[in-house]
Amino acid sequence: MMKLTFLGTGTSTGIPVLGCTCETCRSTDPKDRRLRTSALLTTDAGRHIIIDCGPDMRSQLLQHHNGSIDGVIITHSHYDHIGGVDDLRTLSYANGIDLYCRRDVADDLRRALPYCFNNSNYPNIPRLRLNIINEFETIEVAGMAITPLPVTHGALPILGYRIGNLAYITDATVIPDETIDAIKGIDTLVINALRIKPNPTHMNLEQSLAAIERIAPRRAYLIHMSHQMGLHAQASQLLPDGVSFAFDGLGITI
Ligand SMILES: [Zn+2]
Ligand SMILES: [Zn+2]
Ligand SMILES: [Zn+2]
């Protein structure tokens, strides 16, 4: 039994979008407020893994888990998925924290946050270790077997993850057949759905629902929504049985 807490479920802008006065951004429903997408996995042994570490991570952890982190798995290096890495600093002093990502993502992290990874003796830098991972090569993080899965994000190859009976895919446009095969019939699928209208670098709702139909999980949760998806309560009526929009703070057990 593990627990997944959705720390954030919004696209790169978050919702409300700065400067926007649309109906969704003005909504008073807490489910219409979405921080940048990331999730916290709590293992049955009480250890903690975060999936992506965006710019809202500090406030997300203060709200949901103000304690140790045993590993970070990263899908890709866009700012909304790595912008909070420096905020792991104070949590890293005790034992260091292992980050797991593709090689190109590790290169991007070294460029974005050079002081974190250049082994300098500057005081109080985070103790972060970069671990390069490869598609379909299962790794062990905090006692959990985790398999990186290839998906594409526009032209960019990025990673989704299978963790036991959970598959977590964000920012995908195309899910290749070998990834579908690796997660077919899984219990819980978390998958991105940007908005109703198509978008070149993220699946829209129709594409996400088609992917869910192919993967055929028992239940699916949608993440990485734009304000253009509309109000949570209204858009939820468009979803078939077994599919729901995740919202910030939602916790599920798998
Ligand atoms: Zn994103
Ligand atoms: Zn808006
Ligand atoms: Zn992205």
In the chain, where the domains are located:
3-253
* Lookup: tokens for 11: 């696209």
Structure confidence at residue 121 (pLDDT): 76
Query: What's the CA-to-centroid distance between 51 and ligand 1, angstroms?
Result: 12
Ligand closest to the CA atom of residue 17 = 2
| Spans of the chain below 50 pLDDT | none
Query: What's the CA-to-centroid distance between 201 and ligand 2, angstroms?
Result: 19
196 CB-near residues (< 8 Å, 6+ apart): 204, 205, 206, 228, 229, 230
Class of domain 3-253: alpha beta
Query: What's the CA-to-centroid distance between 248 and ligand 3, angstroms?
Result: 19
Query: What's the CA-to-centroid distance between 252 and ligand 2, angstroms?
Result: 28
- DSSP assignment string, the chain: --EEEEEE-B-TT-BSPTT--SHHHH---GGG-BPBSEEEEE-TTS-EEEE---TTHHHHHHHH--S---EEE-S--SHHHHTTGGGGHHHHTTT-EEEEE-HHHHHHHHHHSHHHHS----TT---EEEEE--TT--EEETTEEEEEEEEEETTEEEEEEEETTEEEE-S-SB--HHHHHHHTT-SEEEEE---SS--SSS--HHHHHHHHHHH--SEEEEESB-GGG--HHHHGGGSPTTEEE--TT-EEE-
Structure confidence at residue 123 (pLDDT): 81
Structure confidence at residue 122 (pLDDT): 79
Structure confidence at residue 237 (pLDDT): 98
Structure confidence at residue 58 (pLDDT): 98
Give residue-wise pLDDT tens across range 109-162. Answer: 999 999 998 877 778 888 999 999 999 999 999 999 999 999 999 999 999 999
Query: What's the CA-to-centroid distance between 156 and ligand 1, angstroms?
Result: 12
